[in-house]
Structure 1
Amino acid sequence: MAALPQRVLIVENSRSYAGMLAEAMEERAGLPVVLARTMAEAETALAANPDIFLVLSGLVLPDAAQDAIIDRFAETGLPIVVVSSKYDEALRDRILGRSVVDYVIKSAPGHLEYLAWLAQRLDRNRRIAALVVDDSPSARLMVAELLSSYGFRVLLASSGEDGLRAVDQDPGIRLVITDHEMPGLTGVDLSAKLRERYARDRMAIIGVSGANKPELVARFLKNGANDFLHKPFSREEFFCRVSQNVDNLDLIGTLQDLATKDFLTGLSNRRHFFELAERRIDALHSAGRECAVATLDIDHFKKINDTWGHDGGDLALKSVARAMQAHMRAEDVVARFGGEEFVVLAGDLDADSSREHFEALRERIAALSVELPDGRTFSLTTSIGVCRLPASGTKVPMHTALNESDRMLYIAKAGGRNRVEMTASTSA
């Protein structure tokens, strides 16, 4: 997938405030910026920077009136956030009635933190697909336009049954907004069926209805919905509810990563490896397919730390992890076991292909050039021990396979390092 545009255009005539806003975007949101103090400079920036995905603009520019500013940026199709020096109710209503994401007051406490969060949220939204389910074409289009202005990839369905089919066909859908009053499958029914298939860490569901039925909120929530919106709702309420729910999805994902991933390399950790590998071995064994368990260790890692410091050691670990991720196939299980040791479970490998697969990995790592922040580089090698598991017979327990791959790793180390040693086959 091609990289998404990442730059934020800040249009602000105050040099000092523009600098503060740029710092918030770059340091708190992690997004690069381009600055403009006039509409003419903004036009030049838009032409020269096709990677702009968001516009943060003031309403006081020396060469454009307020409405002209909004109109011009609306033409770009980019999300627009207006940043104003004073609160004006009539102006706010007029702006939010246009294609503007938000209207933010400079004097509001914590507004820079809010703008940094908002930019991050709009950036992340572009990686999320949202499904709108409503039998009313006008209501469906209205919600779709709101979601599109917030950066979501939007899909539409005119019935609950079509909504289920859309979710089955597009695994990128993580947000569903469904009306309740629909023929056939109602919104509550759709919520229940979606929740049967997708857990709360995978999908957020927001129910919508214009009916004056207080009990409907509880019905939606009890049947799996995360939230509820009563029609008519304001643009701001809609954005707040949607953002809160996708933020929760991000938070759950972050907590899961903390529990299952190694903090330094991003690979699975030891505990998660056992969970994934046991299921994978069961599936391979049931299908009568061979597999291999490998233990990989960075050679002379202590010397790397002593020579290049612990930062150099961390860079070495990250480089090896990236090389392993690039080399392994999608169905392979890769983890960092701790220290300089990594493990792999790779399926569908006979004796010859196992050796070729892990020899190629060893060569890929040996060809790495690890670069330090000061520009110096160093290389490294690894030793790999491989335990092959048979396609038939009694299933070999994971701890037995790891002990055997560890024994082969010891042989590789004793044989001179930077080599692969492999069992012929291991039985239970």
Structure 2
Amino acid sequence: MHPLPLTTRPSSSSLPQRVLLVENSRAYMQVVAQAIEQQLELPVTVATTLAEARAELDSHDDWFMVLTGLVLADGDRDTVVDCFLRRGLPTVVVSGVYDEDLRVRMLRRQIIDFVLKSTPGSLDYIVWLVQRLERNRRISALVVDDSTSARMHASILLEMFGYRVVQADGGEAALAAIEADPTIRLAVVDQEMPGMQGIELTRRLRALRARDRVAVIGVSGRDDPGLVAHFLKNGANDFLRKPYSREEFFCRVSQNVDQLELIGSLQDLATRDFLTGLPNRRHFLEQAERLVPKLQEAGEPVAAAMIDIDHFKHINDSWGHETGDFALRAAAQAVSGHARRQDQIARFGGEEFCLLVPGLDEAELDAYFDTLRRRIEDLRVPVRGGELKMTVSIGVCPAESGDSLHRLLSEADRRLYLAKAGGRNQVVAAG
């Protein structure tokens, strides 16, 4: 059995961004448009009639989704919804009047959601919904079910919500898909499958991807009270019982993906430097403490380097701390752009950066760090009335047999000060 890709998504940079807002109340339209533009930085185009909406749709080809009311001067409810669904646009209906029959009728169509605009928190919900749909387009979801019809049903719902969907008709195919595609962040796993049941698949999937990497939702049509706990104890994040409604499915999926993103944000706060976006000192030390012994056991060369921006206090005193921050970010981007995938980098504090570089002999180290030094020397940071130039001093320490990370960093730091004392804008890689 093999994973079955359902669709191919465009790259993130080519994804449409424009939101169309169709509403006869100009006051409400202005509030919604302003909230989306300010909070999500997505362009919003507004229309008060169906004719205006059609004209706008024809004038651009970068439409992402539509938010539409149902009370327009030139179209009844079905005509309004048909106009957007026929163009294949994700459509959210926003109504000013609660009517359960209307809500049920609309949700039988291929709309994303039906939102009552007069309820408390509806504006926040609309903004969240737009943001969720926009982010979904960068996420892959895996649907695992041996039933073709059940697999297609879940896949179509996920595609409607913007996800790129990969299907698998069994456990082995699902595990192969997870290993092959790092963009899979969500797996919907059926329990009743031949060969490998859903709980066993969930347990084996957890050996490949932790809870903070992939959310697993177990599903089953069996009326077994113990099944939910069994799924959760084996690594599932949530459970859905078949048959489920579209609204319940969307809420559960979105809640779990939101949770993954929240965990990712908290991890970034804990491991990344806020100003530069580079890994912070703590994260670097945790990673490097594990990496140095492994490289030495394997006989691989490794070196530590300390990098410091020359005369940084003068930059702050002459140009101000805001310009100093620009300089730090520019230097950080240069370091990040120069580093290879296997290199460990960090902002160590202040104007100081650190690198752990494996796999280079001493001659290659000299060339590697002198290229980085020149790259930073060539930077031109725009400032008021001109541009800022800067240089760095670099101390490099290749590891000897049995060296600890602490000794490598201490010696690299000592060589950095030798570079400073020797005139700055240079690399010192020998004692």
Fold match, TM over 0.5?
Answer: yes
Structure 1 counterpart of 2:5: none
Instruction: Confirm whether residue 399 of structure 1 aligns to residue 392 of structure 2.
Output: no
Task: Answer whether contact 2:306 2:353 (CA < 8 A) is retained.
Answer: yes
Task: Answer whether contact 2:280 2:347 (CA < 8 A) is retained.
Answer: yes
Q: Which runs of 5+ in 2 are unaligned?
A: 1-10
Q: Report Cα offsets for 1:9-51 as digits up to 9, x if no partner.
A: 2222332222211111122233232223333333343344433
Higher mean C-alpha displacement, 143-152 vs 87-96? 87-96
Instruction: Confirm whether residue 265 of structure 1 aligns to residue 272 of structure 2.
Output: no
Indicate the RMSD between aligned Cα atoms, in angstroms: 1.8
Task: Answer whether contact 1:159 1:182 (CA < 8 A) is retained.
Answer: yes
Q: Report Cα offsets for 1:113-165 as digits up to 9, x if no partner.
A: 11111111112211211100111111111100110111111000111222122
**Cα–Cα, structure 1 residues 366 and 238, in superposed 2: closer, same or farther, change >3 Å?**
same
Candidates 200, 211, 215, aligned match of 1:204 = 215
Structure 1 counterpart of 2:127: 116
Instruction: Confirm whether residue 419 of structure 1 aligns to residue 426 of structure 2.
Output: yes
Task: Answer whether contact 2:12 2:138 (CA < 8 A) is retained.
Answer: no
Candidates 81, 104, 113, aligned match of 1:70 = 81
Instruction: Confirm whether residue 15 of structure 1 aligns to residue 26 of structure 2.
Output: yes
Q: How does 1:2-401 map to 2 (within 5 A)?
A: 2-3=12-13, 4-372=15-383, 377-390=387-400, 394-401=401-408
Query: Aligned equivalents of 1:378 and 1:69: distance in 2?
Result: 55
Query: Aligned equivalents of 2:365 and 2:420: distance in 1?
Result: 19
Q: How many residues align?
A: 420
Task: Answer whether contact 1:412 1:419 (CA < 8 A) is retained.
Answer: yes
Which letter maps to 1:145? I
Query: Aligned equivalents of 2:407 and 2:55: distance in 1?
Result: 65
Query: Aligned equivalents of 1:377 and 1:69: distance in 2?
Result: 54
Q: Which runs of 5+ in 1 are unaligned?
A: none
Partner of 2:86, secondary structure, is helix
Structure 1 counterpart of 2:417: 410
**Cα–Cα, structure 1 residues 248 and 375, in superposed 2: closer, same or farther, change >3 Å?**
farther
Higher mean C-alpha displacement, 294-303 vs 348-357? 348-357
Query: Aligned equivalents of 2:124 and 2:315: distance in 1?
Result: 40
**Cα–Cα, structure 1 residues 292 and 148, in superposed 2: closer, same or farther, change >3 Å?**
same
Greater RCO, CA 8 A, separation 6+ = 2
Which letter maps to 2:406? H
Task: Answer whether contact 2:67 2:94 (CA < 8 A) is retained.
Answer: yes
Report percent identity of matched pairs: 56
Higher mean C-alpha displacement, 4-13 vs 139-148? 4-13
How far the C-alpha of 1:376 sits from its partner, in A, is 5.3
- Please, what TM-score do these two structures have when normalized by structure 2? 0.92
Q: Report Cα offsets for 1:157-179 as digits up to 9, x if no partner.
A: 11122212221222221111011
Query: Aligned equivalents of 1:371 and 1:105: distance in 2?
Result: 48
**Cα–Cα, structure 1 residues 61 and 314, in superposed 2: closer, same or farther, change >3 Å?**
same
Partner of 2:239, secondary structure, is strand
Q: Report Cα offsets for 1:289-336 as digits up to 9, x if no partner.
A: 222211111111112212222221112111111121111111111101
Task: Answer whether contact 1:29 1:117 (CA < 8 A) is retained.
Answer: no
Partner of 2:216, secondary structure, is strand
How far the C-alpha of 1:97 sits from its partner, in A, is 1.4
**Cα–Cα, structure 1 residues 377 and 289, in superposed 2: closer, same or farther, change >3 Å?**
same
Partner of 1:76, secondary structure, is coil
Query: Aligned equivalents of 2:45 and 2:398: distance in 1?
Result: 55
Task: Answer whether contact 1:386 1:420 (CA < 8 A) is retained.
Answer: yes
Task: Answer whether contact 2:305 2:356 (CA < 8 A) is retained.
Answer: yes
**Cα–Cα, structure 1 residues 221 and 388, in superposed 2: closer, same or farther, change >3 Å?**
same
Query: Aligned equivalents of 2:303 and 2:234: distance in 1?
Result: 44
- Please, what TM-score do these two structures have when normalized by structure 1? 0.93
